[in-house]
Amino acid sequence: MTLRERLREKISAAFYRHGLLCASYPVPIILFTSASILTCCYPLLRLPLPGTGPVEFTTGVRDYSVPSHEPQGDLGERPDWYRGPPVAYIQQVLVKASVSPWDSSLVPVDVFRSPLGRAFSLLEEIRNHVHSDGSGVRSLETLCLQVTDLFPGLRRMQSVLPEHGCLLVSPGNYWQNQRELFDLDPDLLKTIQKHEPKGLHTSATLRDLLFGVPGKYTGVSHYNRKRVVTYTITVVLSSYDARFLGSLRGRLKQLHPSANCSLRDDHMVHVHFKEEIGIAELIPLVTTYIILFAYIYFSTRKIDMVKSKWGLALAAVVTVLSSLLMSVGLCTLFGLTPTLNGGEIFPYLVVVIGLENVLVLTKSVVSTPVDLEVKLRIAQGLSNESWSIMKNMATELCIILIGYFTLVPAIQEFCLFAVVGLVSDFFLQMFFFTTVLSIDIRRMELADLNRRLPAEAGLPPPKPGPLRIREVPPPPRPSPHTITLQTPAFRNLRLPKRLRVVYFLARTRLAQRIIMVGTVIWIGILVYTDPAGIRTYLAAQVSEQSPLGDPGGGGLAPHLGVAPVFRGGDPTSALSIHPPPDPTPVPENQSQGHHGAAQAGPLPQASPPAVPQITWGAEDEEGWRRLSFRHWPSLFSYYNITLAKRYISILPVIPVTVHLSPQEAIETRHPQDTRHPPPSIPKVSADLQTDLTLYKVAALGLAAGVLLVLLLFCLYRVLCPRNYGQNGVAHGRRRRGDLPCDDYGYSPPVSEISPLLLRGHSMDIECLASDGMLLASCCLAGQIRVWDTQTGDCLTVIPNEGLRRSSSSNGCWEQWDGGYGAAESGLLGPETLGPACEEEGGGGYPLRRRTAPTWPTLFNDQPDLTPLIDTNFASQPPSHLCTPPRHGFDFGGLVERAYMEHEAPSPSAYPSPSSASSSPPSGAQPHRRPSLGDAAAFSAQDRASAAGTQAAADGESSVWALELRGNLIAAGRSSGKLELWDAVEGSLRCVNEDGGSGITALAFLNNRIVAARLNGSLDFFTVEINKPLGLLQYRGAPGRGSVPPSPCYSSEDVISCQLTRSVQCAHQKPITVLRAAAGRVVTGSQDHTVRVYRLEDSCCLFTLQGHSGGITAIYIDQTMVLASGGQDGAICLWDVLTGSRVSHVYGHRGDVTSLVCTISCVISSGLDDLICIWDRSTGIKLYSIQQEVGCGASLGVISESLLVTGGQGCVSFWDLNFGDLLQTVYLGQSSDGQGVRQLLVLDNAAIICDFGSELSLVYVPSVLEKLD
């Protein structure tokens, strides 16, 4: 035993024990697993939630120093990103300018033309500011962020944004910072508007960038009622020099004092930007997620044969997801902070970890024998797959280990995650999923049990057959013939897939819930991730509207929240119409632009104030907050500088207040400015305009919402037709899977299959043959009966030929068989009874003795039938040989006497068979087959030995093979005789005794009969019909159009059967199987070979070698598909045209006992009680069904998807597509012992199977409908 095997065994044993453990204590284990998941996920709480909004951190200005790169232990709330120098320092100079006092001679353009013009002088001031102290002379040039090049794609920005030198942005950039251009510009607004992008845009516009305040706050418009213009000059510095900035601040304040300004200037704000996810980056991410979902879908689709497919799929996904969460949590716990973007690598992690193990486990467990205990099933399934699971896991770990040694940090981190994820996934699979699986399987069994019990309790009422006597269950017996066992799969099978989906949706109200959850999540994401979105918008709206609504203030503080108390929203707008009548005690000063004579300015009337007031409020302190959060990233991105994962420091603004005199404004006027008409629009219109868009948006939103609600309602009504509210008690909450379909008014049609028993044979049935219309059966006693497959009537009885030969000497005892067969079927015609009654034989006694116990009841049941029996016995009842039995059999004499009374009247005109004389009469036949009553299948060896003893004994023979075509029965006997019988008349038409060895198999096709003999030779016979009337009527074989029509012989025809060719040594050993179809005859033998012959000229086409054991099963059909199975458990598929082997698979331990093919698959059953279903094209085993031990090996395919197998006293119907057991039909009351050995599928969707001495005709009505 190698190390590998030992290891394998140990692993298998360990898994077995583990499976037992899991299945034994499901609840504690699930609790334990959940606890460990939660524990491992606990560190995740400390991780920041992902988001794209920028993060701020505020420090003081005075003691500011550039943070170092090294993380410094305990700096309290200092965030992780606050390390190293920032990308840039932003210094904004906030300019508020107005023309004061305002007089009526001024035109609207004057509001902003001269204030904007002052920007140029301010710019000059800033540019030329030089600070000199002991350490040297510093100017802006040395400190500012030098930019080199605009991003290549921004051609249109080139004229506006600085292309090189200091990054200094102001409204002056519109005019290339040249006062002359500004003065020459006839329409300032047009110039500004020119650069605005068309359409909708979310990120920062150029106007925002240059003005540094949001567009509507600038006051650059014709309708500016406040007449205050606000803009900023933004200086981007690369390094921080407190003294230079201090001197700049002092200088500007000195030049343009803003008296009442009390803006705090002691805080600088550091803003950290996350990696921004744009549409372009989102697309690959979305793609990977789509692929991931497709993967999960295709994986979980394969789970089947469990109670709740969706439940298990959910469990599988939960397993994978929580293992990932666990791995992240564990990594965080041990200090490995994830730097990777989790959302990006997540799909790859899932793909690496995979769902395969889960599926493999499920399949393995499901394919264990159903009758085992759940614990054992789980344990077996686990241990079966243990080796492959461990192997896969080891391989994956190896790959990841290799990846770890690439020494690339990102890959190393990924590998670390993947390792932890793999291990935790394994843990969860073993504990969580296995347990869930065990619970699921237990539920399935419980559900089956529950369903089975009521079916057994309620007796289905027997259907009264008007003429035919159906097998009525005797009243005292509690159990019926038929136990309708309907698994959920069967119910589901009946429903179309579309309906199933709809039912599922309706049952779980899935769509509704998903939409609800989705909406909530969507809104949450909107609110959370978009700082420039709904939140700020709402805040701004609130702050803007509050003075209109309630001027007293008390509005919500906008998002800034910096000022401790904030009153009444935007003071600038508040003051424009409603100037505060009295100075209220507000904490921050509201500076009123008093300048010289401006004291008289603020008039309490509602008229526009003559003196525009410049106020400084708290929102000016950090005016950049009102900008889009993409403001700074987009500004820097124009210079190809990314702010992702970096931060900038925003210095406190420098306030500048500029007051201009009207003269100044008039001087700077452009000649065209006066041409503009004064604003004709009333003042309110400006508000209205902004409001209108708001209302439009609101109305649209409302309409969309209403529409959505309506749509949901419709969907709900469509999907959930059930009335939840009305009779709630009746519906209650049923256990799922109990009656899944009934809730929706659909119940599958009750298809109760009850078998029709054909009785008459006295001993076990050995041969069966059918051509669709007629059925011929032969029992061990040698009696051949012909039945009508439509009605189940017995048409003809052909007694044992050997006995009939000795009619002169033997008593007429065989008649009782025929007589009682007639009594049972009740339709026996006189001409069929005729030959039957000629019978007598020594076999009668033992036969009757065996069946005797059931006779009295039958006899008493139909006492009136005795007169109906036509007892036209041709010969005298034997008296001398009909001695009373020696075995205490007492009814024989009674019955005999009863029948003797009737015997006399009508000596029949029994037509003697023409060829009967050719067969020599043989003596009495007391010898019976030694294997009488033995239910086991006869193998060829048995037959050989039996034949040997028989031949030695008396030369009497039994029927070994039977074929039926048209109305001719071909019977091959152990003596080597081939007989042709007329099926309807029961007359022997022809006998051929050319061969000496017993006929083991027969094939009857197209006027040709092929007989395989025990000695391995193969004889080809031709049936010739010499018609005295010259007419040859053909009767098409029913059902199968492809079957060549069999000739119908009339009774006048002289039929001869001639040996055309005999292949002496067809096989070295006895031929076991003989099949003929499509003009080919295929034989399989003990000598491991299969031979293919052409039927017309008996020419051997191929000898197929490939099996390493005797051939036990062969299948060939009209499509020339040939499959063979051997004692070695192998199944070979052959191409009959070329003789090549298509595929070769091993599936059984032991003989392959039966083989059937459908269009898509091959079904085989073996001695190991396993039914395997193989894909015919690829030779891959689709699945296998473990049957009960000792059940029959007979198989039949009714339709493309319905398989029928014989079992112990029952036949089972299986769905081939899913491998589900659909129904089991019990053939008789006693389900003991008697196995179904042979099973024939007829064209009218009926199956015939033998069942001891009885035949059972089972109609499958549902399939009939399907076939139609």
Partner 1 sequence: MSLTLTAMSNSAVTRGQQQRSGSGQMPQPSQGPYISVITNRTTNLAIRGAMLFSVGVFLALVLNLLQVQRNVTLFPPDVISSIFSSAWWVPPCCGTASAMIGLLYPRIDSCLGEPHKFKREWSSVMRCVAVFVGINHASAKVDFANNVQLSLTLAALSVGLWWTFDRSRSGFGLGVSIALLATLATQLLVYNGVFQYTSPDFLYIRSWLPCIFFAGVITMGNIGRQLALYEYKFVQEKTHQD
Q: CB of 618: closest distance to partner 1 in angstroms? A: 40
Distance CA 277, CA 261 (A): 40
197 lines the binding site for partner 1 (CB under 8 A): no
DSSP state of 1015: T
Closer CB to partner 1, 413 or 870, in the complex: 413
Q: Quick one: which segment of 21-29, 132-140, 738-746, 1175-1183 binds partner 1 (CB under 8 A)?
A: 1175-1183
The residue within the footprint of partner 1, chosen from 14, 333, 351, 423 (CB under 8 A), is 351
SS3 content of the chain, % helix, strand, coil (to 5): 40, 20, 40
Among 98, 100, 299, 992, interactor with partner 1 by CB under 8 A: 299
**Binding string, 709-748, against partner 1, x = CB under 8 A?**
----------------------------------------
Residue type, 482: T
- Contact criterion met (CB below 8 Å) for 394 and 43: no
Residue 603 as a binder of partner 1 (CB under 8 A): the answer is no
- 3-class DSSP state of 446: helix
Binder among 92, 288, 424, 615 for partner 1 (CB under 8 A): 288
Contact 526, 534 (CB under 8 A): yes
343 touches partner 1 (CB under 8 A): no
Question: Residue 295, interface with partner 1 (CB under 8 A)?
Answer: yes
Shortest distance in whole angstroms from residue 306 CB to partner 1 = 17
Half-sphere exposure of 130 (CA within 13 A, CB side): 5
What does the alpha-carbon distance between residue 1105 and residue 414 come to, in Å, rounded to a whole number? 54
Residue with tokens 């017995």: 794
- Verify binding: residue 1041, partner 1, rule CB under 8 A: no
**Rounded distance, CA 1104 to CA 1137, Å?**
12
284 contributes a contact to partner 1 by CB under 8 A: yes
Minimum Å distance from CB 498 to partner 1? Answer: 17
Examine residue 298 and tell whether it contacts partner 1 (CB under 8 A). Answer: yes
Q: Which is nearer to partner 1, 72 or 1178 (CB)?
A: 1178
Quote the strand ranges of 639-788, DSSP E: 647-650, 654-660, 756-758, 765-770, 774-779, 784-788
Sequence length of the chain is 1268
Question: Shortest Cβ distance from residue 470 to partner 1 (Å)?
Answer: 38
Asked whether position 354 contacts partner 1 by CB under 8 A, the answer is yes
Nearest CA among 451, 491, 377 for reference residue 1220: 491
- Which residue's CB is nearer to partner 1, number 287 or number 1108? 287
Distance CA 1196, CA 1187 (A): 15
Q: Does the protein bind partner 1 through residue 922 (CB under 8 A)? A: no
Q: Contacting partner 1 (CB under 8 A), which of 184, 294, 523, 692? A: 294
Among 13, 31, 283, 521, binds partner 1 (CB under 8 A): 283
Report cis status (omega within 30 of 0) of the bond before 284: no
Measured CA to CA, the distance from residue 452 to residue 446 in angstroms comes to 10
Q: Which stretch binds partner 1 (CB under 8 A): 296-304, 1000-1008, 1021-1029, 1061-1069?
A: 296-304
> Using CB under 8 A, which residues numbered 1112 to 1171 contact partner 1?
1119, 1121, 1159-1160
Applying CB under 8 A, the span of 135-143, 348-356, 368-376, 600-608 interacting with partner 1 comes to 348-356
Q: In the complex with partner 1, which residue's Cβ is closer, 354 or 1106?
A: 354
Q: Which member of 25, 348, 938, 1183 binds partner 1 (CB under 8 A)?
A: 348
Q: Does 200 bind partner 1 (CB under 8 A)?
A: no
624 versus 1174: smaller Cβ distance to partner 1 = 1174
Measured at the alpha carbon of residue 601, what is the angle toward residues 598 and 605, in degrees to the nearest 5? Answer: 180
Q: How far is the CB of 348 from partner 1 (least distance, A)?
A: 4
- Measure the CA–CA gap between 656 and 674, rounded to whole angstroms: 29
Q: Which is nearer to partner 1, 809 or 1160 (CB)?
A: 1160
Determine which residue in the list 1, 45, 49, 280 makes contact with partner 1, applying CB under 8 A. Answer: 280
Residue from 137, 898, 1180, 1267 binding partner 1 (CB under 8 A)? 1180
Report the alpha-carbon distance of residue 1151 to residue 1127 in Å, rounded.
4
Bridge partners (DSSP) listed for residue 509: none
In angstroms, what is the minimal distance from the CB of 113 to partner 1? 36
CB of 1176 to partner 1, least distance (A): 8
**Nearer residue to partner 1 within complex by CB, 313 or 968:** 313
Distance from chain centroid for Cα 842: 66
Q: Does the protein bind partner 1 through residue 916 (CB under 8 A)? A: no
The continuous run of DSSP H or E covering 795 comes out as strand 794-798
Query: What b/e string do you get for 848-870 counting C-beta neighbours within 10 Å, with b at 16 or more?
Result: bbbbbeebeeebeeeeebeeebb
Q: What token pair was written down for 512?
A: 């509704």
**DSSP 3-state assignment of 792?**
coil
User: CB of residue 421 vs partner 1: minimum separation in angstroms?
Assistant: 15
Strands 959-965 and 794-798: unpaired
For the window 393-422, what string marks contact with partner 1 as x by the rule CB under 8 A?
------x--xx--xxxxxx-----------
**Closest CB to partner 1 among residues 403, 553:** 403
Q: Does 689 bind partner 1 (CB under 8 A)?
A: no
For helices 309-333 and 409-428, angle between their N-to-C axes, nearest 10 degrees: 130
- Residue with Cβ nearer partner 1 (42 or 151): 151
Residue in 281, 373, 738, 861 binding partner 1, rule: CB under 8 A = 281
Scanning residues 139 to 168, which ones bind partner 1 (CB under 8 A)?
A: 152-153
Q: Which of 780, 792, 781 lies closest to 824, judged by CA?
A: 792
Is 1177 a binder of partner 1 (CB under 8 A)? yes
Q: How far apart are CA 833 and CA 839, in angstroms?
A: 10
Binding-residue pattern over the window 539 to 558 for partner 1, x denoting contact by CB under 8 A:
--------------------
Cβ closest to partner 1, residue 250 vs residue 284? 284
Q: Considering beta carbons, is residue 187 or 344 the nearer one to partner 1?
A: 344
- Name 966's Cβ contacts closer than 8 Å, sequence gap at least 6: 771, 983, 1035, 1037, 1046, 1047, 1048, 1049
Cβ atoms of 715 and 511 within 8 Å: the answer is: yes
C-beta neighbour count of 1237 within 10 angstroms? 22
* H or E stretch at 315: helix 309-333
Span interacting with partner 1, options 159-167, 295-303, 371-379, 1072-1080, rule CB under 8 A? 295-303
The nearer residue to partner 1, 28 or 409, going by C-beta atoms, is 409
Number of shown-chain residues binding partner 1 (CB under 8 A): 39
Among 68, 72, 287, 1103, binds partner 1 (CB under 8 A): 287
Q: For 197-334, where are the E strands, in sequence order?
A: 228-237, 267-272
CB of 1144 to partner 1, least distance (A): 13
At 751, is the secondary structure helix, strand, or coil?
coil
How far apart are the C-alpha atoms of 769 and 601, rounded to whole Å? 120
Q: Which two tokens stand for residue 400?
A: 């990841």
Do residues 345 and 413 touch, judged by C-beta distance below 8 A?
no
Helices (H) and strands (E) in the chain, counts: 34, 46
Smallest gap from residue 344 Cβ to partner 1 (A): 7
**Which of 86, 115, 347, 633: binder of partner 1 (CB under 8 A)?**
347
Which residues are at the interface with partner 1 (CB under 8 A)? 152-153, 280-281, 283-284, 287-288, 291-292, 294-295, 298-299, 301-302, 344, 347-348, 351, 354-355, 399, 402-403, 406-411, 1119, 1121, 1159-1160, 1176-1178, 1180
